[in-house]
């Protein structure tokens, strides 16, 4: 008879995933302090092939973390600063007349990278935001009737400030739904802030960044994503995900519930979290812990809920407590 250790032995070798994650964490923790949960969510998003919306007040390392991720992954990194006067052609590129060939030539925009950081994404108007719809969903853009595919991997990391509202625009719900996670970054603890001061006391940011070495390349990242896809999720957990999503559509404090795209996102994120934990199977805790970052930007509170002063996370916590967890 098989012993208990053999029964629960991983059927998929996830050593490469856990080693890669540990290496990336050790590298990022040299510069970013007190954001372990945020780093975990960013790595889960990368392994799930999802776009990430990162929200926090100025100075909490939103942009820095995104740039560092581009540094530790040996991939093409591009940064776009969104402003109110930004046009779609400034992002996607445009066709320019070439007098030598007497024809128009397409000049690619800054979105042609593997990791694209969009800083302060909510500062651009609706016309520019709409230009990202096809890009984020299908990993391609269409210009003048021609379709251009993005190189794989392709991930959009977008940042926004929740406090300053002057000169900003609300992101369309259809665009928000294309982000796998909305990650909230808070202030570090006093202990971590002291560590940060010690680290930057005699070292500049540029010195520290230039000293970092890439940990993963495109080929390895693709292999890790394929391993994550193989993680097992049982039918009872698929039903649990469905019940959570369905519950958001019929809850009195929510005007808009989550879409079917959210169901797929929650499943993939749960599988990636399991892989990060060294498991080749999903447990209910994986689903529950991934639910808020997956859903908080996909639901809209009713006016009554806003009047009561509750936020999306509080409503979701209350909602999840009413859905039975499979055993």
H-run or E-run covering 158? strand 155-160
Q: Is residue 221 pLDDT above 90, yes or no?
A: yes
pTM of the predicted model as reported, rounded to 2 decimal places: 0.91
Residues 39-94 pLDDT 10s: 999 999 999 999 999 999 888 889 888 889 988 999 999 999 999 999 999 999 99
**Is 270's pLDDT higher than 60?**
yes
Q: Is the pLDDT of residue 222 over 50?
A: yes
Longest Cα–Cα distance of the chain, Å, equals 79
What is the pLDDT at residue 104?
84
- At 116, is the secondary structure helix, strand, or coil? strand
Decide if pLDDT at 166 tops 80: no
Q: How far is CA 288 from the centre of its chain?
A: 17
**CATH class, range 231-327:** mainly alpha
**Segment 79-136, tens digit of pLDDT:** 999 999 999 999 999 988 888 887 888 899 999 999 999 999 999 999 999 999 999 9
pLDDT of 9 > 70? The answer is: no
Query: What pairs with residue 55 in β-bridges?
Result: 160, 184
**pLDDT number for residue 138:** 96
* Helix, strand, coil tally for the chain in percent (to 5): 45, 20, 35
Which stretches within the chain are classed as H helix? 4-7, 15-28, 36-47, 62-72, 88-92, 126-130, 132-138, 173-176, 190-199, 205-210, 218-229, 235-248, 260-276, 284-295, 303-307, 312-320
pLDDT of amino acid 275: 96
Across the range 290-306, mean pLDDT stands at 96
pLDDT of 228 reads 95
pLDDT digits over 250-266, tens only?
Answer: 999 999 999 999 999 99
Please give the pLDDT value at position 208.
Answer: 85
Looking at residue 213, its pLDDT comes to: 87
CA distance 123 to 279: 40
- Domain spans of the chain, in order of start: 32-221, 231-327
Q: Give the rounded percent of residues in the chain with a pLDDT score beyond 70.
A: 97
Whole-number Å distance between alpha carbons of 102 and 315: 60
3-state secondary structure of 136: helix
Higher pLDDT, 211 or 38: 38
Residue 4, pLDDT above cutoff 70: no
Per CATH, the homologous superfamily of domain 32-221 is: P-loop containing nucleotide triphosphate hydrolases (3.40.50.300)
Q: How high is the pLDDT of residue 301? A: 95
How high does pLDDT run on average in the chain?
Answer: 91
Residue-level pLDDT at 173:
93
What's the pLDDT score for residue 7?
A: 45
Structure confidence at residue 5 as a pLDDT band (50, 70, 90):
very low
pLDDT bucket at 187, cuts 50 / 70 / 90: very high
Q: Given this chain, do its domains 32-221 and 231-327 carry the same CATH topology?
A: no
Asked if pLDDT for residue 2 goes beyond 60, the answer is no
Cis before 319 (ω within 30): no
């Amino acid at each position: 008879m098989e012993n208990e250790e053999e029964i629960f032995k991983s059927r998929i070798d996830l050593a490469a995933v856990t080693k890669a994650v540990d290496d990336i964490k050790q590298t990022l923790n040299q510069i970013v302090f007190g954001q372990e949960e945020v780093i975990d969510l960013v790595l889960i998003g990368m392994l799930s092939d999802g776009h990430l919306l990162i929200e926090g007040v100025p100075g909490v390392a939103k942009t820095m973390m995104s740039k560092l991720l581009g540094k530790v992954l040996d991939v093409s990194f591009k940064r776009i600063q969104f402003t109110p006067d930004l046009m779609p052609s400034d992002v996607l590129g445009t066709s320019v007349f070439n007098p030598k060939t007497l024809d128009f030539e397409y000049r690619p925009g800054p979105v042609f990278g593997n990791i694209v950081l969009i800083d302060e994404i909510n500062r651009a108007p609706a016309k520019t935001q709409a230009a990202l719809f096809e890009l984020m969903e299908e990993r391609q853009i269409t210009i003048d009737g021609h379709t251009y595919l993005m190189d794989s991997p392709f991930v959009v990391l977008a940042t926004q400030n929740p406090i300053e509202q002057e000169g900003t625009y609300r992101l369309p719900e259809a665009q928000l739904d294309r982000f796998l996670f909305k990650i909230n970054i808070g202030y570090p603890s006093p202990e971590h802030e002291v560590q940060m001061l010690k680290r930057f006391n005699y070292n500049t940011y540029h010195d520290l960044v230039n000293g970092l070495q890439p940990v993963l390349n495109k080929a390895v990242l693709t292999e890790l994503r394929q391993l994550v896809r193989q993680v097992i999720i049982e039918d009872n957990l698929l039903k649990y995900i469905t019940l959570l999503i369905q519950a958001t559509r019929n809850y009195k404090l929510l005007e808009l519930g989550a879409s079917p795209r959210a169901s797929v996102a929650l499943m993939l994120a749960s599988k990636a979290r399991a892989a990060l934990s060294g498991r080749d199977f999903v447990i209910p805790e994986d689903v529950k812990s991934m639910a808020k970052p997956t859903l908080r930007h996909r639901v809209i509170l009713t006016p009554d809920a806003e009047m009561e002063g509750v936020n999306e996370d509080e409503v979701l916590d209350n909602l999840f407590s009413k859905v039975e967890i499979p055993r």
